[in-house]
Structure 1
Amino acid sequence: MANSGKHIFFLAPYPKGAAPSQRFRFEQYLDYLKEQGFNYSFHPFYDQKAWETLYAQGKTGVKLFHLLRSFMRRTLLMFQLHRADYIFVHREMSHVGPPIFEWITTKVLRKKFIYDFDDAIWLPNYSEQNAKFQKLKMYKKVFRIMRWANQVTAGNTFLCKKAREFNPHVQFLPTTIDLHYHTAEAKKEGKLTIGWTGSHTTAKYLHDLVPVIQELNNKYDFDFLVISNENPGLDLPNLKYIPWEKNSEIKDLNLIDIGIMPLEDSVWTHGKCAFKILQYMALSKACVASPVGANLTVIKEGENALFAQSEKEWYDALEKLIFDENLRYELGENAFETVKNHYSVVANREKYLSLFQK
């Protein structure tokens, strides 16, 4: 093979398989790269032990210990980068602090690297558990990292436009779905289910929909399912909560009949890569979403999903889908084709492979 012996170093914030941004932006391409003759090594900033304490309440001393260990490992890695034919950096080489390792890579070692990001990560965004560390993040460092990179890949057109302010070599690479992993199950029996999945940080977008769900629940019998790492505690009598688990995420998503993705209209949400919608669509679910950010690219209104912005629009769209099973089926089938043709791993793997042929 032409690529035989070529070695790619993947540098990312978290352990392999731990974070959705890593899993669905590059980790699911690793086996394909091996098939194409590449070797690779994976180098997270935080190891598994550090990751397990990162979002724990308190434990400041333990977190500082793991942070120092992480910096030490990254420092030692700098002595190995000469072996890399390609260096792929997802988000940042170090989770906190200035871009010192990126500077060493480009200015001292004279190595090129590919920089990949999703989300508007130059904006402050942190959990309550780690609020005291947020000043160490130095969010704006991503602009320097973009400038130093040989290539930049970003998850939507808004992010690409931002990256081109700092680097002309920018490629749109969507967050993608592995359709061998996201597989729809046979039609479920029982009560209709409107559902949402996401982390506790994005659950805030559900609160504006509570009056809509309450009003619909007065007229129709359905469950409102939330799959998340925390119970959002919404005031809904039909709320069902399932803790997110990696080993059951697809089985749990298949419980949904109508998937939703409400968002506010802000710079942060313009950086979102429509991943919730893509997950629902990959499982042939009918969807309703806010017309914000990448949702505008993925969704063709009335063909593969519905848009809703005001409370009335959300009520009308959800009522239409509750009432019309044929419409749910039609939107779901078209949604699957959209993912298969444009947002699946198979549809994008040659574009991904091209990053390592320059």
Structure 2
Amino acid sequence: MSQRSHIVYVSSDGMMEPLGTSQVLRYVRALAGRGAWRFTVVSLEKGADRAERDGEREEELARRLAAEGIGWERGDYDGSGGPAAAARNVARLRALLRGVKASGPVDLVHARSYVAASVARSLGLRYLFDIRGYWVDERLEQGRWFDGALRLKLARAWERDLYQQSAAVVSLTAEAAEEIKQGKFGPWPVDREVEVIPTCVDYGEFGLGGPGDAGVVPAPVRERLRGALVVGMVGAVSQAYCVEASVRLFEQVLARRPDAHLLCLTRQAPALLAILEKARLDPARYTITSARHDEMASWLALMDWGLLLREEAPSHRAAMPTKLAEFFASGVRPIQWGCNREVRRWVERAQSGVVLEDLSEAELRRAAEVIASSERCMHTALKARWMTQAHFDLSEGVRRYAGIYERLLGQREQLRVLFLTEGKTVPASRYRVEQLVPHLEARGIRCEVRAAYGEGYNRLGDGGTARVIKLAQSLKRVPWAFSAADYDVVFLQRLALPFSGAPEALAAARNPRAVFDVDDAIFRGPDGGEDKRGARAFEQACRSVAHVICGNEYIGAHVPAGVPTSVIPTVVDTRRFRPAAHRPGGPVVVGWMGTRSNFKSLELAAPLLRRLVEEREDVVVRLISNGEFLPLKGVERVEQRAWSAEREVAELQGFDVGIMPLPENAVTKGKCGFKLLLYMACGVPVVASAVGANRTILEGSRAGVLADTPHDFEEGLRELIDSPQLRVRMGRRGRRRVEEQFSVEAVIDRYVAILQEVAGLETHSEAAGGWLRAAGG
């Protein structure tokens, strides 16, 4: 077992403050869960936070972090202001870090801010400089500290030294990163990294519509905001933010929309109240309150628009407000001016907010007209969320930080994994291997995929000749198995032969570090009956390998006892499969997508689908497959289209309701419900038979209809056809459920941990808890 590197994360922001919770602890916990590093957090905490509930809150947080293997050394923050207080804070952080250093080796300091970097530099420790902004420029703009030429000269020399001595730099913006690389702080070596990681948020937490207020928002406030056009003002009341201009803009909105309400979330209520009273704004038209970080999603769910007017200044070229990501994730439309060009570009790219050219009264009136006249559109909010998630989601930030740590510490995992799959266009291969590969490679795992057959799979029928061709293609995996020893892990996706586990046993004999992945009840016959050969093949493959990954619990229950087994559902790449930005009008499209091997299941719904199109001219049935469904061939308003990888997403986006009928037998209990997940990822409400994984996916989600009987299936489908509002609500819930539980991002770290475990690398046991188990144990 290799010794894990020790990373000390130093922050002058307290971990009990919203910023520390969202922008430090969220990252540290996720990175610690990867198991490659051991973390200690060093921070200064405000007295009011430490005294909360007589210190119980602090102790609770310390216990939670310790349970996750994270140390926490903290001291008191001096908030009196000025250089003297700053010097005291530096001395306290230095004493804490010196104590950590004395207790054992420190491999890297993650220095969050200039102060933290200065402390690490003074102790001769290697540090990652996470700049969070241009600190000296900020003080200059505020007229603080560096008013004399000598002071400024010394500050610039100190600043330059912090950059020059850093191991690497993290910037919030690409603009600042480019300035650093171009020599803003002295010559920059080409091999010294400057990574861009903005202020990210958990898009799963800040979902559209929020998590429900769950008692967070007081009833009087909810009632006050009911039916209002809510404009949000979030964060600090400082000279960096144009609070007076924001109030003037709101007054212009209020003149056009008497129902407008200003919802202010700040810890500086007295300062903001003074500004609002000076403007003589009617107290009935605004609410001032504060919110903890874990409450923000509930409050943002109440907002239609979010104010983001910020002064333009040299220091702001390196700034990226956290509230921008929170707005995008929550469907709040930003009202933007200033800060830097990058913030503006993101608002323009998302196409959901309004950008001001200046703060003149004429421009404020123009923006107010847009705000007052634009109704909230769910499709626009969804589009903004999708277009920004890849940059601002917490999971992306965690991935980038992990990459920096690996490169700085020389720990970039270079596992070589050989994937042997059925075929490039076989659904199971595409979704259980192909779509995972880019994400695995981004985590340092080198992947080689060998597919038994390629594009021709979808052109083969089900006759005898086709079966012979498929068998011949599958036999390619036998000679490939001989090369398994050349890799750290061999990943066997499904059986090569339906009647024998010999190819899998051969691969495992060549390389015992083998994983067997199965997403169907291959131990049963096509009709769900007993299949002795299939069962023997399944058992032989399972007993040969080091680990089995199953698509659902039903399959997992059939893995022989004692074989390490994980249950990981087939998941969706939610960045590719997403709702349409705009749904066209016209008939309601009831859709089904699947291979011809699933036509037997579709036959259950054929009589109902025929009745629907015969009775109603406002309904179209659309079937997407690699074959023709004969029971509905030639029926008016039944469209049958050939499946293609290029058109797949667009076809799903064209559905208004997705269906998944299934008979109940041993085979269907082994299905993974992937069809449902594709529908839901595209924001399409579903009607599904209550069989196998369908129950797991839908129960409690209110994202569709789970039908126990044919009558329930028909009743639920007709209700969705008749109610556009219900379709939208269920589609939104389905999308959120897939993002949180059935997306690539939700499971990719499980795959990484399994591959590392099988390869004999160290993994963090907590990361595997809850999903790694011994079958039958």
Aligned-partner SS, 2:712: helix
Q: 1:13 aligns with which of 417, 422, 426?
A: 422
RMSD between superposed Cα atoms in Å = 2.6
Q: Which amino acid aligns with 1:264?
A: P
Q: 1:154/1:228 Cα in 2 relative to 1: closer, same or farther (>3 Å)?
A: same
Following superposition, which runs of at least 4 residues in structure 1 exceed 6 angstroms of deviation? none
Question: Corresponding residue for 1:129?
Answer: none
SS in 1 for 2:591: strand
Moved more, 212-221 or 225-234: 212-221
Amino acid aligned to 2:542? M
Paired letter, 2:619? F
Contact 1:308–1:314 (Cα < 8 Å) also in 2:
yes
Which residue of the other structure, out of 579, 604, 622, is the alignment partner of 1:225? 622
Q: How does 1:134-149 map to 2 (within 5 A)?
A: 140-149=536-545
**Would you say how many aligned residue pairs link Structure 1 and Structure 2?**
340
Q: Secondary structure at the match of 1:162?
A: coil
Q: 1:176 maps to what in 2?
A: 571
- The structure 1 residue matched to 2:519, chosen from 110, 118, 124, is 118
SS at structure 1 position matched to 2:630: coil
Q: Determine if contact 1:147/1:166 at 8 Å carries over to the other structure.
A: no
Distance 1:51 1:317, change over 3 A: closer
AA in 1 matched with 2:449: F
- Once the two structures are superposed, residues 141-184 of structure 1 have per-residue CA deviations (whole angstroms, 9 ceiling, x without a partner) of 01111112211111111111112x34441111110000111022
Change (3 A) 1:167 1:184: same
1:69-98, Cα deviation, whole Å (9 max, x unpaired): 764x54543442222111111112x33553
- Aligned partners of 1:96, 1:155: CA distance in 2, in Å? 18
Change (3 A) 1:283 1:48: closer
Asked if residue 155 in structure 1 is aligned to residue 557 in structure 2, the reply is no
The structural deviation recorded for 1:139 is 5.8
Aligned: 1:48 with 2:454? yes
1:243 to 642, 646, 657: 642
Relative to structure 1, the CA distance from residue 260 to residue 60 in structure 2 (aligned partners, 3 Å threshold; closer, same or farther) is closer
Query: Contact conserved, 2:514 with 2:547, CA < 8 A, in 1?
Result: yes
Task: Describe the superposition over 1:168-223 as per-residue Cα deviations: whole angstroms up to 9, x where unpaired.
Answer: 41111110000111022111221111111111121222223233234434156200
Tell me the amino acid that sits aligned with residue 175 of structure 1. T
- Out of 442, 456, 475, the position equivalent to 1:35 is 442
Shift of 1:6: 1.9
Write the distance in 1 (CA, Å) between the matches of 2:479 and 2:514: 18
Partner of 1:63: 469
The equivalent position to 2:487 in structure 1, one of 84, 102, 117, is 84
In 1, Cα distance between the equivalents of 2:468 and 2:506? 28
**TM-score (structure 2 length as normaliser):** 0.41
CA contact (8 A) 2:521 2:666 kept: yes
Counterpart of 2:433 in structure 1: which amino acid?
F
Q: CA contact under 8 A between 1:143 and 1:166: conserved in structure 2? A: no
Structure 1 unpaired stretches of 5+: 127-134
Bigger CA radius of gyration: 2
Contact 2:578 2:683 in 1 (8 A): no
C-alpha distance 40-300 of structure 1, shift in aligned 2 (>3 A): same
d(CA) in 1 for partners of 2:462 and 2:698? 37
Q: Which residue of 2 aligns with 1:132?
A: none
* Alignment partner, residue 599 of structure 2: 203
| SS class of match (1:103) | helix
Matches within 5 A, 1:273-352: 273-300=672-699, 303-352=702-751
Change in CA separation of 1:55 and 1:113 when aligned onto 2, cut-off 3 Å: same
The amino acid that maps onto 1:203 is F
The structure-2 alpha-carbon separation of the partners of 1:114 and 1:60, relative to structure 1 and needing over 3 Å to count, comes to closer
Contact 2:519–2:670 (Cα < 8 Å) also in 1: yes
Query: Which gives a bigger RCO, structure 1 or 2 (Cα 8 Å, sep 6+)?
Result: 1
Could you say what secondary structure the match of 1:263 adopts? Answer: coil
SS in 2 for 1:268: helix
Whether the aligned pair in 1 keeps the contact of 2:490 and 2:511 (CA below 8 Å) is: no
**Secondary structure at the residue paired with 2:734?**
helix
Q: CA deviation at 1:140?
A: 3.2
Aligned to 1:103: 505
Please tell me whether residue 259 in structure 1 is matched to residue 681 in structure 2.
no
Q: For 1:210 and 1:54, how far apart are their aligned partners in 2?
A: 24
> Which residue type is aligned with residue 31 of structure 1?
P
Give the aligned residue type for 2:454: Q
Tell me if the contact between 1:146 and 1:166 (Cα under 8 Å) persists in the aligned partners: no
Cα distance, 1:13 vs. partner?
2.1
CA distance in 2, matches of 1:302, 1:97: 38
Percent identity reads: 25
Q: What is the CA deviation profile of residues 279-301 of structure 1, one whole-angstrom value per residue up to 9, with x for unaligned ones? A: 10001111110000000000035
Q: Is the 1:150–1:169 contact (alpha carbons within 8 Å) kept by the matching residues of 2?
A: yes
Say whether the 8 Å CA contact 1:158–1:270 is kept in structure 2: yes
Aligned AA for 1:174? P
User: Greater CA deviation, 251-260 or 295-304?
Assistant: 295-304
Please give the alpha-carbon distance, in whole angstroms, between the structure 1 residues aligned to 2:742 and 2:682. Answer: 13
Q: Distance in 2 between matches of 1:321 and 1:28?
A: 32
Is contact 1:87–1:114 with CA below 8 Å preserved after alignment? yes
Q: What letter is aligned with 2:415?
A: K
Distance in 2 separating the partners of 1:158 and 1:138: 16
Tell me the SS of whatever aligns to 2:662.
coil
**Secondary structure, in 3 states, of the residue corresponding to 1:247?**
coil
Instruction: Name the CA distance, whole Å, in 2 between partners of 1:277 and 1:52.
Output: 21
CA spacing shift, 1:312–1:5, aligned 2, 3 Å: closer
C-alpha deviation, 1:230, in angstroms: 1.4
CA drift of 1:52 comes to 7.1
Match of 1:131 in 2: none
Residues 1:268 and 2:671 are matched in the alignment = no
Q: Is the 8 A contact 2:590 2:655 kept in 1?
A: yes
Q: Which residue identity is paired with 2:747?
A: N
Equivalent-residue separation in structure 2 for 1:205 and 1:79 (angstroms): 39
CA 1:321–1:357 in structure 2 vs 1: closer, same or farther (change >3 Å)?
same
In structure 2, C-alpha distance between the alignment counterparts of 1:202 and 1:70, rounded to whole Å: 21
Letter in 2 for 1:193: V
Provide, for residues 2-30 of structure 1, a one-character-per-residue CA deviation record: whole Å limited to 9, x for no partner: 3443211111222x3x1110111122111
